[in-house]
Amino acid sequence: MTKPTMIICIALLTMAVVAPIDAQDSESVPELSGVWDGGPRARPVNGPDMPWTSENFPVLNERALAFQKVFDEAISPKYDCVPSTPPALVYDPYMMEVVQWPDRVLFRYEKDDQLRTVWLDSREPTPMDYSLQGVSVGHYEEGALHVTTSHYTFDVTGFDDYNGIPSSQMKKVTERYWREGNQLKMRLTVEDEMFLREPASFTTQWDPGPEGYKLQAYGCDPEIARHPVRFLVPKYK
């Protein structure tokens, strides 16, 4: 093989590898960027039965039920400003900002000042990557952003803020984001074989945020966060 031929072959091989990553069909990449309102205007406010209702409430295994029974509200990490994680974080009634870059999508949450990065480069998380918000990887397909997040650390209230359901390092959250009219829609599924007998899902939406709105700093105050705990009747002495 001559040198020019070899160069051409290498170039063709390179294009064959690179092209599928770069050539995002514009029709398959939805416009998700912007500030989105997850407050009461867009959807029912979260609570013990929202978004987990009688119809989609997770089926807990014996381990989860045992945890629930001994759970003491006072130990919930949020009273010391530990940020929440999905699925709770994505349903909190605050603003969210989405920024789409070629190699990643950034989700910034007003609640707890959180930033989630969804990598679009097919990276595989490693055991070194366990963290509060885990590692998110995603891709565009058929007009939606598909996100898979894993490698969460254990969280005693990692499922939601109300039901005392923990989540383990095996929690996996998949999200699909798409546009319907001026709304941002999302379908979330959470799996955690340590505590759930089967995956649990909900679908939700955001309205466009106010024109020109900039996310405010949450700046959780640790002293004031724990302040209401004194009003609990202690479960344990």
The greatest distance separating any two alpha carbons of the chain, rounded to the nearest whole angstrom, comes to: 83
CB nearer another protein, residue 31 or residue 221:
221
Q: Does 228 bind another protein (CB under 8 A)?
A: yes
CB nearer another protein, residue 170 or residue 215:
215
Instruction: List the one residue from 29, 30, 34, 39 that touches another protein (CB under 8 A).
Output: 39
Least separation in angstroms between residue 198's CB and another protein is 25
Q: Does 57 bind another protein (CB under 8 A)?
A: no
Q: Does 20 bind another protein (CB under 8 A)?
A: no
For residues 125-164, one letter each, b for 16 or more C-beta atoms within 10 angstroms of the residue's C-beta and e for the rest, the string is: beeeeeeebbbbbbbbeeebbbbbbbbbeebbbbbbbbbb
What beta strand segments (E) does the chain contain? 34-37, 95-100, 104-109, 114-119, 135-141, 144-150, 172-180, 183-191, 200-208
Q: Does 73 bind another protein (CB under 8 A)?
A: yes
Q: How far is CA 133 from CA 46, 83, 195, in A?
A: 20, 9, 18
Measure the CA–CA gap between 121 and 137, rounded to whole angstroms.
Answer: 8
Report residue 186 as tokens: 């999302």
Instruction: List the one residue from 14, 28, 56, 216 that touches another protein (CB under 8 A).
Output: 216
Which region, judged by CB under 8 A, interacts with another protein, from 88-96, 100-108, 179-187, 198-206?
88-96
Q: How many residues bind another protein (CB under 8 A)?
A: 32
Name the residues that contact another protein, by CB under 8 A: 39-40, 45-48, 73, 76, 78-79, 81, 92-94, 110, 161-162, 216, 218-221, 224-225, 227-234
